[in-house]
Structure formats: structure tokens, C-alpha cells
Amino acid sequence: MPKLSVNINKIATLRNSRGGNTPSVIEAAIKAQEFGAQGITVHPRPDERHIRYSDVRELKSVVTSEFNIEGNPREQKFVDLVLEVKPTQVTLVPDVTGQLTSDHGWNTVEHKEYLVGMIKLFKSHGIRTSIFVDPDPDMVIGAKAIGTDRIEFYTESYAHNYTSDRDAAIRPFVEAAEVANKLGIGINAGHDLNLHNLKFFKENIPHLLEVSIGHALISDALYFGMENTIQMYLRELK
């Protein structure tokens, strides 16, 4: 069964909209784990518009499941934070400053030299590495050459096309996953996965190890409650 890592960025967005510490991202992480989440994901950005760097440091002491920190390693502040906190996993994402949300994977061929160095750095500190990629076999092959432990499929295209033709939507991910499995690279996935499309994705991607879900899960929690929502997502993954 793939692990469910809950991205709590949206909790921080709500907190920051009002000031103070309500809702608490620390309490949210604790409760998510109590309710069954097998990981906590955060994506600190340079402008700290949701998760703050101080949040990540505080979370280190309360995350007893897998701790996944996402971000762009071109920001030295991000690299320093990851090396300080030493999470279970770092997921490298090619965001640009001010970007609303992640919208593409790495070109693992064009950026090979740079990524090789970053992967070596994080792995030398005992941190599992993953990089954001689109469902392109060439990018998966490039990821193998870089030396990353895992890839994370950027699944926005799958989610966008799921309702019109789910078989066509999943096809490139299946093809890329087959390449990853042959090469021995672990597979994670995330972006716009939700209660409607998660089960079909999981059933068609062999050896899927982890999904990271934030916006949809936190939104569902407004209707169903966080404990119930996490259990609903876990049932989709079983």
C-alpha cells in the first residue's frame, strides 16, 4: 500500500491570513499522524507565504512518521534548512520565485550536472532524495543517471484529464512508471490527486510508494473532518 503523506501548507495559509497561531501547523501535523497519515509534507517557499522556515524547524520534533520537505534547491536558504533539519526525504522541485504552485517537473537531461551535485549533497547527509518529474520516459532515464532515490510524478495532467478520458490520462504515467521500475527508481506522486481520481491512479501505477496530497485533502477536511478525511484517502489507497 502506498503511504499517504499529508501536505499541511494550506493549514499555514489559513493561519497566515489572520495572524497569530490558529490553526496551528504543529497541531495539524500531530493530529494528521494520529488519524493515520504515514507522512507529513511541507513546501517552504522564499516568501514564506504559507509554511515558514521556523515551522519546519518546529515540526522536526513532532513528526514521528516520514518527514518530506519539498522545495527548489537553487535557494541556498532551502538547502541550509534541509541539511539542518535532516528530514526523511527531500523532494526537489523546479519552482521559480513567486510561483503560485508547482507546475512542471525537472528537465533531468538539461540540468543533469547541477542535480547530480545536489543529490550527492543530500544523500551524504543520510537524506532520501526525490525529484519532481513529468511522465516522460526520457526524464525518468535522466533521473536514474542523476542518482536520485525516487521520482515524484507531477500529476496535474492526469487529474485535469481524468474526467474526460481516464485511460488516456493515465497512459503516459503507466509508461513512465514501467521505465522507473525497470531502472529501480522508487515512485512517488502528487499534485491534484483527490478522492475521485486517487484509486484509479494507484491501481494502474505498479510499485507506487507514496502520494503527497495537500489542497484537496485539506479542502475535504472542511466538509468531512480531518480524521474522517484521512481515513477516506487511506481507503482509496488500500
**What grid cell was written down for 78?**
532551502
Q: What CA–CA distance (Å, rounded) separates 197 from 193?
A: 6
Q: What CA–CA distance (Å, rounded) separates 129 from 119?
A: 7
Instruction: Collapse the DSSP code of 108 into the 3-class scheme (helix H, G, I; strand E, B; otherwise coil) and give the result.
Output: coil
To the query of whether residue 48 is one of the catalytic residues in this protein, the response is no
Distances (CA, A) of 166 to 172, 205, 236: 11, 13, 16
Q: Grid cell 474526467 — which residue?
A: 163
To the query of whether residue 70 is one of the catalytic residues in this protein, the response is yes
To the query of whether residue 196 is one of the catalytic residues in this protein, the response is no
- DSSP H or E segment with residue 54: helix 53-59
Catalytic pick among 43, 152, 210, 236 = 43
Catalytic pick among 50, 191, 210, 236 = 191
CB-CB contact of 16 with 211 (8 Å):
no
Catalytic pick among 50, 66, 70, 210 = 70
Distances (CA, A) of 45 to 79, 157, 210: 12, 23, 22
Q: What CA–CA distance (Å, rounded) separates 15 from 8?
A: 11
Q: What CA–CA distance (Å, rounded) separates 50 from 170?
A: 31
Active site members = 43, 70, 191
